[in-house]
Amino acid sequence: MKSRYESAKNVFIDSVDLEDYIELESSQAAYRQLEHSIGKPLKMILLFGRPGTGKSILLNRLQNKLEHQREIHYFDTPAVNEKEFFQKLFKVLTKKSLPQNTEVNFSALVNYCKKLRGKREIIIILDEAQMYGAEMMEKIRLLSDSRAVKFIVSLHKTDDEDLIAKEHFQSRIWEVVELKNASFQDQSSYIHKKLLKKNLFEIANSIKVRDLKLIHKFTRGNFRECNKMMYTIFEICEYYDKNEPTKITYERIPVRIIEMAALKLGYINV
């Protein structure tokens, strides 16, 4: 017989599918700031945050919400090389595919953008932009100077360097939207809303405040780590439910299972 924990486990498979989007106070604020920034005469907007803070799904939602109101395009995966990127950009700007074995003349592309000023305002979302090199970013900056193309650039914040401080962003970005790890309240809401959205009411009620505090402590409010943690917790619960049902109850998640999940994921050591 299928364990109800299997359904709960699958709720937390990491995804950028809009069906899995959970509205939280922090994500609402970031979305409003992004939408407001798009309306300003800005050339570039930076969405900044550590991996797992929800940048990609937020950008996905922005594109989905605005695609019928504005000319907006989402480049979710960085191009393999500069040639591929500019071929993709050429198609967006000219609405034509580049002939085979032809390379984009960058100077001509910049001049084409200048001619579009006042006629079209094209928004390009660049996700995972830390994959682009400084030379590529400088060319993107030159395109943004045409003021016909506006770029929303999404970057990872790392422990080693503050990407905002990089030279090609210091004087180029006019607006910065930063996503941070979730507060205890936001992460707790995220967990419960994810389960309730799939009608897993009993499972949601089994996760108490004490459990949520422990989960937040281990994951530090990172959504990706939270998904991994919840998936692993329910995977362990599923095992007991199928093999040793007397050791588990649907009324609450035992602390030992949360600790087992943390141990498996390397949050704690023996």
User: pLDDT per residue over 118-149, tens digit each?
Assistant: 898 899 999 988 888 888 888 998 898 888 89
pLDDT at 171: 58
Entry pTM: 0.85
171 by Cβ neighbours in 10 Å (0-12 / 13-18 / 19+) ranks as exposed
Amino acid 151: pLDDT: 93
Q: What is the pLDDT of residue 135?
A: 85
Residues 9 and 76 in one domain: no
What is the tally of structural domains in the chain? 2
Output 195 or 169, whichever has higher pLDDT. 195
| Domain co-membership, 92 together with 187 | no
Same domain, yes or no: 31 and 121: yes
Distance of CA 24 to the CA centre of its chain: 14
The answer as to whether 270 is a domain residue is no
Percent of the chain residues topping a pLDDT of 70: 93
Whether 157 has a pLDDT exceeding 90, the answer reads no
In a domain, residue 104? The reply is: yes
- pLDDT of amino acid 162: 54
Domain assignment present for residue 35? The answer is yes
Share of the chain above pLDDT 90, in %: 52
Q: Do residues 37 and 202 touch, judged by C-beta distance below 8 A?
A: no
Judge whether residue 239 has pLDDT over 90. Answer: yes
The per-residue pLDDT for 159 is 55
Residue 258 has pLDDT above 90, yes or no: yes
Residue 248 pLDDT > 80:
yes
Q: Are strands 175-179 and 122-126 parallel, antiparallel or unpaired?
A: unpaired
Query: Of 163, 179, 195, which marks where a domain is finished?
Result: 179
DSSP assignment, residue 39? T
Same domain, 241 and 156: no
Selection from 211, 223, 192 nearest residue 261 by Cα? 211
Domain containing 122: what range? 25-179
Under DSSP, is residue 27 helix (H, G, I), strand (E, B) or coil?
helix
